[in-house]
Amino acid sequence: MNAIILSALGGIVMMFTGIFTQNKIVIKNIAIITLLLLLIGNLLHFYGIYMLHVDVKDMLQFNNFGLFFNTIAFTSTLIYFLLSGTDITKVGINVAEYFALIFFVLCGVSILTSFHNLLMLFLGIEILSIPLYILTGADKKNLKSNEAALKYFLMGSFSTGILLMGIALLYGASGNFSIESVPSTTSKVAEMANSSILTPLGLLFVFVALLFKVSAAPFHFWVPDVYDGAPSVFTSFMATIAKAVGFIAFIFLFESRIAELGPSSRIIIPFVIILTLLIGNITAVFQQSVKRMLAYSSIAQAGFMLFVLYSNNDISSEGILLYSVAYSFATIGIFAILIKMKDYTFEGYNGLAKKEPLIAAANTIFLLSLAGIPLTAGFFAKYYMLLSAIKANGQNALWLVIVAVLFAAVSVYYYFRVIQAMYFKEGNPEIATTNTSFKVILLALAAIIIFIGLFPTVVLNFLYF
Amino acid sequence: MHWLLLASDATNNSAYSYFPIGIQLIFAAGFVAFMIALSQWVGPKRKTNDKLQNFTSGIASHGDARQPMAIKYFLVAILFVLFDVEVIFFYPYAVNFRELGWAGFGAVVMFVSFFLLGFIYIIKKGALKWED
Amino acid sequence: MISLLLILIPLFTGLLTFFLKQEKTAKNFSIFSSVITLGTVCIAIFFAQNNQLLFNTQWLPALGSRFSISLDGMSKALVLLTAISFPVVFIATYTNKYKSSHSFYALMLLTQAGLMGVFMATDALLFYFFWELALIPVYFLSSIWGGEKRIAVTFKFFIYTFIGSLLMLVGILYLYFNTVVPSFQIKDLLAAKISLKEQNILFWLFFIAFAIKMPIFPLHTWQPDAYEQSPTAVTMILSGVMVKMGLFAVLRWLVPLFPESAKTYSNIVIALSVIGMIYASLIAIKQDDIKRLIAYSSIAHIGLMCATIFTQTVIGTTGVMLQMFNHGINVIGLWIVADAIEQQLGTRKFSELGGLAQKAPSLAILFVILALANIALPLTNAFVGEFLMFNSLFQYNVWVAAIAGISIILAAVYTLNMVQKILYGNTVAATEKALDTTLNINWMLIVLVVIVFALGVYPQPIIDLTKDTVNVIVQNR
């Protein structure tokens, strides 16, 4: 509850900061302090200290899992502010509003990590999405940004429509909005219609809408254009925190109900996973721009995260948290460097190692982590996902796991192209001047990724406090 | 009795009793389709350039429709809709305010204060300033 | 505890070397570090108690993985080989110039740490970690300091091995779920309950990973290119020590874990190995480049070792153990010669060389000895190993042994052809002004030649080192 209240208040605080001051540094620092308060408030919830006692009528339920994801999301945002905060202030004139919108997204995140009711799911997704539409179009003078915002908005509202339809059908089947499957005794619709059709159909609609939000194939078509068109700072945020939370919503919703999707779920989910991996990886191989490559790679990473639906056990739940950490931290780092580059193509990175050895080294570690090379957090993220799949289905999962690792090998191809450009090719990359604190934070982030790569259980121990 | 009249028997409620309506629907749709097709087929056609021009009220179009225009009107309109819709929430509260008690009052005060903050925000941002 | 030192010394000195900006300091420091490692290995092998060679501690309790390493008989020979080869390589290439050489030496030492880990790990997950840790520094080494086509070639090498190791990871995970207690320890994996059908699938998952590394015939295409394009110091490590990772892993993990499958598929694997031997030997005959010739000759030798492993006899496995060590020594010697020639004369093509024996007599003598060792002539170390291996192949199937035997004749053809074209005949333009090799190269070659003769006459020490584990591997089936 703390997180929801504080993030909403934080957004309002940021809005009003923009009225009273135009000083970018002040605004940025206020945002960082507010975020710290939010983080502390969320941690206090762990220890049972609440700001308000609100009777939420069981529409929200707080557990360690969701609170821990909140912590991950807020920490990632904090790192994001520290690394790219200055670049946020350079997007346009409404500096404070950008921060305010990010806080509203975090409010959506906090709702999605605690919803226990389909209405709250809908609210959470909307609160999450609408600020993102605006952030996508923040670069008002840029036609590509405008196009991306409109595309995102149209596609997003379409998927929201599908979500609503699904919720309506589920309501029809059970007579209430609870996410648990309570067979209805009162609903007349359920008596009249054959409710054995309504429930799977409703779940399928919700499933599709959420697949859209996490950019899984075949509902991924908006991703490349939106991620490419949006200002790079906001792409970084969209591709990490706003996306990972989709999987948390998935877990809450489908933890107990995946079987109700009908026997076809055993076919649909592997199909979606493989299609996502295929499209994400193969298309990323052909990209010339690092930013666009990262957009496709984020689809590919979603393919791995979707294993959480396939296996749906305790290992996969732990795995998705680890995956969120590994993926968010690494992607935020890569984008923070990308923003500083003038040329977003692979050639733009040529010879970076010579010019900025520290930045290149950190970037290498982030890329290795995304590729899932051992000693980095990314390895254990993928490891947990594969482990959970084998645990869930044993021999039958083996083929899916093998296909997934083959695609992981494909992903090495495009991640390493950046490394090749930085280290093995000659060139004079144009990179904005960076101050020492930027480099220190970047290296600290790289160190954290390696630390998690050595001791992943340290992170997960938070779950069992 | 004639078989058509037999089908329209009100007491006999089955799919068969909708048969006359079906006939009527088919006849109606068929008649429209037939008339359109007939006029298309029989009628004379003269294609000229003028007929393909855009026009409104008989006036020839000129210039580009995509012109920058002041956003003020739309801004005010959308803000009006926003606040107007939010006011709707007062009605259910007014009806139930005795049952909701102090907790409900607190919630509404919170709602109104958020509302007010938004209002202050748009004023401070100059969204309602009509003249530059 | 002492076994842990073998990983930590190169790891930390390697990380430290990144910060030594002076070229000379970095060189001397890394030689110092590798000599210390060699000393530690000698102490560990010849003086330490058995219980000091184990190290086992908590690592990832939730996952059931422990940081457990052990310097047992099987790994002793290879750890010794690793420890010998690094100082030899460093000293022999002492005069080579590298841009930003501190990074070069740092990455070399990290590779050594990874290799040590691979040879000693007794926990499957840890083994996988070191397997990758050894690969990544080599990727950077070859891509930064390699030849003209280095980026594409090294990338091919990397992707190949990465696919292999991921398949192995899947296999490891699957085994993990079938252990009695959740654990990655080799003894628990050995006790895992898996059906024959599962064993057959897992066998191939592991085998592909190891076959890529060795490399075995259809998966070998990365190897000649990678050897040719890598800087020679890296090639020495690649072919001298790294390919042994594959063979070692087959011995330590594949055969013991899946004894039935290893037996079922032994005919396929042996057939592939023998095809690879003949195929690589024939290609080697046609080569005009010293590096490529040694690369193909290496494929042929490795093929013989792999085939012998799958005959699963005591005598053969002993031979493989011995030959893994010997091949490392011989091939590093040959690479040093190749590097000396290339550094001085600027070419590796036979057609541009000739009559070098007149100009560089001491190099010529050492080169001929190493070349003869490559053909496995009696009195050289390789003879003993190959004799044991062919003995085992004869027991398995006479025809297989006969076909594999052709490769010895072919080896003589290509090796002697190379020696003749480079050393004898009239001097040509390139060799007109050649000088004899410098002291550091000569001394290192002499060290290697001494080992060649010593083990050719008296191979018992290495056989003794590995005796216990050979019995374990073969008994286990």
pLDDT in tens, A390-440: 888 877 888 889 999 999 989 989 999 898 888 888 888 888 888 888 899
CA distances, C222 to each of A388, C150, C217 (Å): 33, 12, 11
* Min distance A425 CA to chain B CA atoms (Å): 47
State whether B54 and B101 are in the same domain. no
Q: What is the longest distance spanned by two Cα atoms in chain B?
A: 83
Lowest mean pLDDT among A153-162, A210-219, A234-243, C141-150: C141-150
CB contacts of A15 in chain B (<8 Å) are: 121
Q: Does the residue B65 lie in any domain?
A: no
CB pair distance less than 8 Å for A455 and C162: no
In the predicted model, what is the mean pLDDT of residues A143-164? Answer: 92
How large is the angle between the packed helices C314-345 and C439-457, nearest 10 degrees? 160
Lowest mean pLDDT among B32-41, B59-68, C415-424: B59-68
Q: Does the residue A166 lie in any domain?
A: no
Residue in A292, A191, A202, A297 with CA at minimum distance from that of residue A243:
A297
pLDDT in tens, C243-276: 888 888 888 888 888 888 888 888 889 999 999 8
**Mean pLDDT rounded to a whole number for chain A:** 87
pLDDT category of residue A76 using cuts at 50, 70 and 90: very high
| A209, A236, A254 - which closes a domain | A254
Q: What is the longest distance spanned by two Cα atoms in chain C?
A: 70
State whether A285 and A399 are in the same domain. yes
Higher pLDDT pick, C469 / A94: A94
Distance between CA B63 and CA B67 in Å, rounded? 9
CB contact at 8 A, C353 and C347: yes
Distance between CA C239 and CA C295 in Å, rounded? 8
Burial A349-358 (b: 16+ CB within 10 A, else e): bbbbbbebeb
pLDDT in tens, A22-71: 888 899 999 999 999 999 998 888 887 777 777 777 888 888 888 889 99
Q: Does the residue B129 lie in any domain?
A: no
Q: Does the residue B54 lie in any domain?
A: yes
Sign of CA pseudo-dihedral C90, C94, C99, C103: positive
Q: Which residue of A has its CA nearest to B118?
A: A12
Q: What is the pLDDT of residue A185?
A: 55
Distance between CA C413 and CA C98 in Å, rounded? 35
Please state the length of chain C.
477
Distance between CA C73 and CA C469 in Å, rounded? 6
Q: Does the residue B114 lie in any domain?
A: yes
Residue A407: give the domain boundaries: 263-465
A 370-389 residues with CB < 8 A to C? 373-375, 383, 386-387
In the predicted model, what is the mean pLDDT of residues C190-199? Answer: 83
Q: Does the residue B132 lie in any domain?
A: no
State whether B14 and B36 are in the same domain. yes
State whether A298 and A412 are in the same domain. yes
Q: What is the pLDDT of residue C220?
A: 84
Closest partner residue to C173 among A390, A456, A460, by Cβ?
A390
Q: What is the pLDDT of residue A33?
A: 93
Q: Does the residue A174 lie in any domain?
A: no
CA distances, C394 to each of A190, C324, C402, C463, C475 (Å): 77, 20, 8, 21, 20
Q: Does the residue B106 lie in any domain?
A: yes
Q: What is the pLDDT of residue C62?
A: 73
Looking at residue C438, the DSSP 8-state letter turns out to be P
Distance between CA A143 and CA A156 in Å, rounded? 19
pLDDT category of residue A75 using cuts at 50, 70 and 90: very high
State whether A399 and A417 are in the same domain. yes
Distance between CA A132 and CA A149 in Å, rounded? 9
State whether A227 and A354 are in the same domain. no
* Min distance A228 CA to chain C CA atoms (Å): 28
Q: Inform me whether the pLDDT recorded for B96 exceeds 80.
A: yes
A29 and chain C in contact, CB less than 8 A: no
Q: What is the pLDDT of residue A334?
A: 92
| A254, A273, A303 - which closes a domain | A254
CB contact at 8 A, A266 and A400: no
Q: Does the residue B17 lie in any domain?
A: yes
Q: What is the pLDDT of residue A335?
A: 92
pLDDT in tens, C297-306: 888 888 888 8
Q: What is the pLDDT of residue A30?
A: 92
pLDDT in tens, C365-376: 888 888 888 888
In the predicted model, what is the mean pLDDT of residues C162-173? Answer: 89
| B60, B84, B102 - which closes a domain | B60
pLDDT in tens, A224-257: 899 989 998 999 998 888 888 998 888 888 877 7
Structural domain total, chain A: 2
CB pair distance less than 8 Å for A19 and B117: no
State whether A384 and A237 are in the same domain. no
pLDDT in tens, A361-383: 999 999 999 998 888 999 989 98
Distance between CA A418 and CA A420 in Å, rounded? 5
Number of CB pairs < 8 Å for A and C? 71
Percent over 90 (pLDDT), chain A: 35
pLDDT in tens, C114-128: 998 898 888 888 899
| A204, A231, A254 - which closes a domain | A254
- Angle at CA of residue C246, ends C241 and C249, nearest 5°: 110
Q: What is the pLDDT of residue A7?
A: 92
Q: Does the residue A212 lie in any domain?
A: no
State the pTM of this model.
0.87
Q: Inform me whether the pLDDT recorded for A281 exceeds 60.
A: yes
CB pair distance less than 8 Å for C61 and A457: yes
Residue B37: give the domain boundaries: 3-60
In the predicted model, what is the mean pLDDT of residues A296-304? Answer: 91
Distance between CA C131 and CA C116 in Å, rounded? 10
Distance between CA A201 and CA A436 in Å, rounded? 55
Higher pLDDT pick, C180 / A150: A150
Q: Would you tell me how many other CB atoms lie within 10 Å of the CB of residue C264?
A: 14
pLDDT category of residue B9 using cuts at 50, 70 and 90: low
Percent over 70 (pLDDT), chain B: 86
CB contact at 8 A, A121 and A109: no
Q: Inform me whether the pLDDT recorded for B2 exceeds 70.
A: no
Complex-level ipTM beyond the 0.90 threshold: no
Q: What is the pLDDT of residue A449?
A: 92
C29 and chain A in contact, CB less than 8 A: no
State whether B10 and B55 are in the same domain. yes
pLDDT in tens, A439-460: 999 999 999 999 988 888 887 7
Percent over 70 (pLDDT), chain C: 99
Q: Does the residue B66 lie in any domain?
A: no
Structural domain total, chain B: 2
Q: Inform me whether the pLDDT recorded for A191 exceeds 60.
A: no
In the predicted model, what is the mean pLDDT of residues B112-130? Answer: 86
State whether A291 and A334 are in the same domain. yes
CB pair distance less than 8 Å for A383 and C169: yes
CB pair distance less than 8 Å for C163 and A406: yes
Distance between CA C13 and CA C25 in Å, rounded? 12
3-state secondary structure B17-36: HHHHHHHHHHHHHHHHHHHH
CB contacts of B109 in chain A (<8 Å) are: none
**Mean pLDDT rounded to a whole number for chain C:** 85
State whether A151 and A114 are in the same domain. yes
State whether B79 and B55 are in the same domain. no
pLDDT category of residue C477 using cuts at 50, 70 and 90: very low
State whether A244 and A318 are in the same domain. no
pLDDT in tens, C423-451: 887 777 776 777 777 777 888 888 888 88
CB contacts of C63 in chain A (<8 Å) are: 457
